[in-house]
Amino acid sequence: MPKDAPVAGHSPASPSFHRSALALACLLALACLLAFAAPALATEPPATDSDHKDQRRVTTLEGVSATANVDDHGYTVPAASGATRLPLSLRETPQSVSVVTRAQMDDFGLNNINDVLGRTTGINVEKIETDRTYYSARGFDITNFLTDGLGMPFANGGQEGDIDTAIYDHIEVLRGANGLLSFTGNPSATIDFVRKRPTADLQGSVGATVGSWNNRRLDGDLSGALNASKSVRGRVVLADQQSDSYLDRYAVRKKVAAGMLEADLTPNTLLSAGITWQKNAPKSPMWGALPLYNTDGTPTDYRRSTSTAADWSRWDMSNTQSYLSLSHDFANGWSVKAALNYRRLAGASELFYIYGTPDAATGLGLFSYPSQYNSTEKQYYADVYASGPFSLGGREHELVLGVNAGKSDVDQLSGYSTDIGTALPPLWDWNGRYAKPAFNAYYNSAQFHIRRRSAYATARWNLADSLKLITGATLTHVESTGQNYGVPHAYEKTKATPFVGAVYDLNAHYSLYASYAKLFNPQTEVDVNNRVLAPVTGDNLEAGIKGAWMDDRLNASFAVFRSRQNNYAESVGINPATAQNYYRGINATSTGYEFDLAGQITPDWEASAGITQLGIEDDQDRNVRTYVPRRTLRIHTTYRLPWMPGLKVGGSLRWQDRIVRDQLALDTQGREIYTTQGSYALLGLMARYDFDPSWSATLNLDNLTNRKYIASLYWAQGYYGAPTNWQLNVTYRF
């Protein structure tokens, strides 16, 4: 058996803080890369019109940097304000920020959020099922997903279905606590989806993609003014994708539509409105995944295509969002912005879960759990804030004052059949055929309401020309009513969380920074008795150095961090009484470092790269959450050949350390069972050719070495990631 093959065994993971040769080699390669580029960065000749021919105009909308055009600032952005509502450059922000731009998404064919975040520094994508995903950073789950800086945390901890990227200009990832603006001080990360915006000039694109497993995708994007003065602008984005899969019986069906409007009511007043819609209708999705160990403790070893889904399974999901915002800029430099957001998530599913532990010789020992679910989650969110300068002590400072409120209404109806527990044949002989049962036992499994209200304030103090101090605080009140599988889903808490950060400019290119935040995070996870876990408390500390060159077209940062959380939800397994995951509260401390680089190294060379190392221990110094990789590496780079300007070539490397899952089970000899996925690397290549300013073709190849690996050990079950695959896109722009 190869040393990095997935295995199950009888001993826990050894400490993973030894330095791997691969990570060290890649770190040295990055250092050489920067050293090679240093002369160009040091000289930084004045920019010409040609150099900036694609540079976009940056404005601020709902507290985030939003852009009118796409694919025009390479692999970085000039500003991001998701942390403070202040339009700060990445170097001025006292936290770690990574950005995946439209240019990078187009170059590497990143059409869904899992592909985007799986290539982002420090982010782990936990694909526990084909259509449900969890995300983590710095060792903890990510629950704060925003759109244009606004939103509510996940009500159920994970993302059902994949989020298509067609409507987004770029995606910002703020690592560490973001308690000022996201209701909760989760120290993992906040993901902010920044929508495309209407443009004053007419522009558009039409793209067609084909790829492995009969993958077919069409997308279109049209934007421009709707009147002669260009004071009213609109944009429409459409996408349709259908694909089979390397997994048996599984197929993807996805549709996306969005319409956005902007109107200049006055020269200083902007009204924005829009609606976005996505429908996922996968065929034969997995609910749960493959058993990873046999009764004797040895690992299972299935074909990569093996699926536990029945041939009649379905998991239809829709995500509809609408928004309205109004902003006004006053003559004294102050501005006021108000926004309303509505989001409706609806699901209708008929699913087939397999449980049990197979016998190593016969494969028997697995049983059926078919069920039906209909669910709806409605989210309402409002935010109003004012920002502007003020003078004190002979210097000008900046202030943000705001309030917001939101609520989530969750309603789930479950249906069960009478044939739960039917013995199944071995998975290696199963073809998904199972008589579809009648789901005739229905009850409201979950019906609860979460209300959150916050007031926040942020100040950026200009203490000296080279020293800026950012202070802030959020006062949050959260309450929940209702029931979850017959148990009250009720709590009420009020908590104030402070934030402080400082940035010191060493020179024109480098800055030191540090930040500290208290944590308060109400949870929705339940224990084995279906009782909601108490809120998480703790703190987050980080410090580092940042650099920016090439007129902020290249950004780099190095950070060290420590996050402490008390009563953090740790997944235990599936509750047999409800067929739902249940959790326990643990005290955990995460420490580590991150290196991140993104942008234009030379006019022809773009790169995005990051290294993360962390450790996670409980209050008794024991390793916990060992299914989270302790070290990860992400490198993506492209180069436009000077002697053939129409051709751009590139590659990608995604590597992670070994991970281990304590199965909390004993084998036939009474020994504890652990499942291990060894370290692995996924290699990719890309090539794009611009035939002329309008027509281009892009080819992407992924997992070139055809590496077989388990996609996640977040749960006790898992399935294999995709083998070698390709996709070809042809796009016409005007």
Please spell the DSSP secondary structure of 94-110, one letter per residue.
Answer: SSEEEEEEHHHHHHTT-
> Residue 37: what pLDDT?
41
* Whole-number CA gyration radius for the chain: 25
Nearest to 136 by CA among 707, 624, 496: 624
Nearest to 189 by CA among 149, 134, 144, 250: 144
Which two three-digit tokens encode residue 547? 């650099």
Nearest to 138 by CA among 95, 96, 189, 174: 189
DSSP state string for 74-86: TT--S-B-TTTSS
Alpha-carbon gap, residue 631 to 612, rounded angstroms: 5
Evaluate whether 56 touches 68 at the Cβ level (below 8 Å): yes
> Residue 180: what pLDDT?
61
Which two three-digit tokens encode residue 447? 């019906």
Which two three-digit tokens encode residue 179? 């308690």
> Residue 530: what pLDDT?
79
Nearest to 630 by CA among 12, 15, 40: 15
Q: Which regions in the chain score pLDDT beneath 50?
A: 1-8, 10-71
> Residue 523: what pLDDT?
77
Handedness of CA 75, 90, 67, 240 (dihedral sign): positive
Give the pLDDT confidence of 612-644 residue by residue, as tens digits.
999 999 988 999 999 999 999 999 999 999 999
> Residue 82: what pLDDT?
62
- In the block, tokens 């309205």 appear at 324
Evaluate whether 74 touches 53 at the Cβ level (below 8 Å): no
Evaluate whether 263 touches 287 at the Cβ level (below 8 Å): no
β-strands 203-211, 215-225: how paired? antiparallel
Which two three-digit tokens encode residue 126? 């936990």
Evaluate whether 94 touches 513 at the Cβ level (below 8 Å): yes
Task: Provide the strand spans (E) within 226-365.
Answer: 232-243, 252-266, 269-280, 314-329, 335-356
**C-beta neighbour count of 324 within 10 angstroms:** 16
Beta bridge partners of 484: 446, 487
Q: Give the domains, in start order, of the chain with CATH numbers.
A: 74-733 (2.40.170.20)
Evaluate whether 186 touches 497 at the Cβ level (below 8 Å): no
Evaluate whether 350 touches 313 at the Cβ level (below 8 Å): yes
Handedness of CA 154, 156, 157, 161 (dihedral sign): negative
> Residue 26: what pLDDT?
42
Q: Which whole-number Å values give the CA distances from 247 to 217, 532, 710, in the listed order?
A: 19, 35, 13
Alpha-carbon gap, residue 487 to 532, rounded angstroms: 9
Burial 458-470 (b: 16+ CB within 10 A, else e): bbbbbeeeeebbb
Give the pLDDT confidence of 380-404 residue by residue, as tens digits.
999 999 999 999 999 999 999 999 9
Question: Which residues contact residue 281 at a Cβ distance below 8 angstroms, ignoring those fewer than 6 apart?
Answer: 253, 254, 314, 316, 317
